[in-house]
Amino acid sequence: MTAGSDGLSPFKAMKLRRHPALEFWYDAKARAILLQSAFVVAFVALAIFAFIDVRANMEARGIATDLSFLGKVAGFDINQSLIPYSAASTYGRAFVVGLLNTLLVAAVSLALATVLGFIVGFARLSKNWIVGQTAMAYVEAIRNVPLLLQLLFWYNAVLKPLPSPKQSLPLPFGMFLNNRGLFAPAPVFEAGAVWLVAALCVSLLAAVAMRLTPKRIKFATPSRAFFSGVAAALLLVLPLAAFVGAGTPVAFVQPELKGFNFVGGVRLLPEFVALVLGLSLYTAAFIAEIVRAGVEAVPRGQREAAAAIGLDRADADRLVIAPQAMRLIVPLLTSQYLNLIKNSSLAVFIGYPDLVQVFAGTVLNQTGAAVQVIFITMAVYLAISLVASLAMNLYGRRFALVER
């Protein structure tokens, strides 16, 4: 029988002639598994081939292909480091310095962007016309100017025109502001400070314990006031008492002008401040829109229903509107957080020593290990993003619909 002779299309004819040994091919699932494994094998083989080949070619040109450069002496300095670092440290340590600087700037900007974003988001929902319009103007202005321009603005137009160290602006609490940054007194802990630390620990544990106490007990009418009293005592009075009792064991080192710059105290680099300002103001505008959309997406009927069962406005917001809005807000928030983390690499343009500037910039250049450095950098950003989304997903679960 030739295909098509009986009036069937060749395709159908073939189908009629399935060979029993090829039976699995007609099972969609088996076929998928087979094709996908074939693809994976081919891909891995190609990757291995490419890897071996690239390595041979790089080695032939005298370019290092391994990670041993991480153990070599870096020879350059970095002006902000959360761990001890000097020019005599290794490239590996420079990598950690850059990574921590990225995490620091991302964490601070994230927190500020969230707080500001929620405030502006609520302001946009406000019934007060001026408040609402101001919030809208902010959102529109910020969202429509490229972030890089905003960073350059903060850095070049706002921070650099500040006075030189000799003409620093004095601020409250012994702080100073000049074109080298913000200088503040640094706390130094004396021996008695253990008591303070201990008191803080106790307070913290108590806070956790109270948080875990079932609502049933906490909000029973007679214990409500009692609980607040205990909470206040534990969280405020205890550490304060310890502080005074141990003879105020914390001293402050004042920043002092010596030669070219201030020494002593803690210092925020202008590059750090510009980056935090730029990133958090920018992201806050997007977060504000997300918050507004999330709240507006909760059907009106929900508020009416809450009122119908006798909840006052605050309780309705807290118990009915917020959980439903958050269910929408959290996933969108996650993507803003991820954007912020990635945007932090714009640091290179204003000289803040983040991972990209230190590692993918200086280290790459001084070692020539371009391939290794770029892959490590990409892997790190991927890992940070994955951890951030995982954390947000876990947090988002609290607002998931629970079927009962």
Partner 1 sequence: MFKMNVVRTLFALGLMIGCAQGAQASLLDQVQKRGFLICGSNPGVPGFGLPDDKGGWTGFDVDFCRAVAAAIFNDPTKVKFIALSAKDRFTALQSGEVDLLSRNTTWTLSRETGQGFLFAGISYYDGQGFLVRKKLNLSSALELSGASICVQQGTTTELNLADFFRGNNMKYEPVNFANAEEAVRAYEGGRCDAYTTDASGLYVERQRLTDPEDSVVLPEIISKEPLGPAVRQGDDEWFNLVKWTLYALVNAEELGVNAKNVDEKAKSDRPEVRRLLGFEGNFGEGLGLGADWAYRIVKHVGNYGEIFDRNLGEGSPLKIKRGINALWTKGGLQYAPPIR
Residues 338 and 283: their CA atoms lie apart, in Å, by 10
Footprint of partner 1 on residues 129-158 (CB under 8 A)?
156
For residue 58, the tally of other CB atoms under 10 A from its CB is: 16
Task: Indicate whether 61 belongs to the interface with partner 1 (CB under 8 A).
Answer: yes
Question: What SS3 class is residue 90?
Answer: strand
Distance of closest approach, residue 110 Cβ to partner 1, in angstroms: 20
Task: Indicate whether 364 belongs to the interface with partner 1 (CB under 8 A).
Answer: yes
Task: Indicate whether 270 belongs to the interface with partner 1 (CB under 8 A).
Answer: yes
Residue whose CB is less far from partner 1, 332 or 338:
338
Among the listed residues 77, 140, 296, 312, the single contact to partner 1 using CB under 8 A: 77
> Any residues with CB less than 8 A from the CB of 287 and at least 6 apart, and which?
113, 114, 116, 117, 118, 120, 121, 333, 336
First to last CA, the chain: 62
Site string for partner 1, 249-268 (x = CB under 8 A): ---------xxxx-x-----
Stretch that binds partner 1, among 55-63, 125-133, 240-248, 386-394 (CB under 8 A): 55-63
Task: Indicate whether 385 belongs to the interface with partner 1 (CB under 8 A).
Answer: no
Longest dimension (CA), the chain: 104
Residue type, 299: P
Among the listed residues 30, 42, 48, 50, the single contact to partner 1 using CB under 8 A: 50
Distance of closest approach, residue 106 Cβ to partner 1, in angstroms: 15
Among the listed residues 174, 264, 323, 368, the single contact to partner 1 using CB under 8 A: 368
Q: Which residues pair with 182 in a beta bridge?
A: 177, 268
Site string for partner 1, 287-306 (x = CB under 8 A): --------------------
Q: How far is CA 108 from the centre of its chain?
A: 8
Residue type, 24: F
Alpha-carbon separation of residue 354 from 101, 128, 266, 317, 377 (angstroms) = 5, 42, 19, 40, 11
- By the criterion CB under 8 A, which residues form the site for partner 1? 50, 53-54, 56-58, 60-64, 75-79, 86-88, 156, 160-161, 164, 179-180, 258-261, 263, 270-271, 345, 348-351, 353, 356-357, 360-362, 364-368, 370-371, 374, 377-378
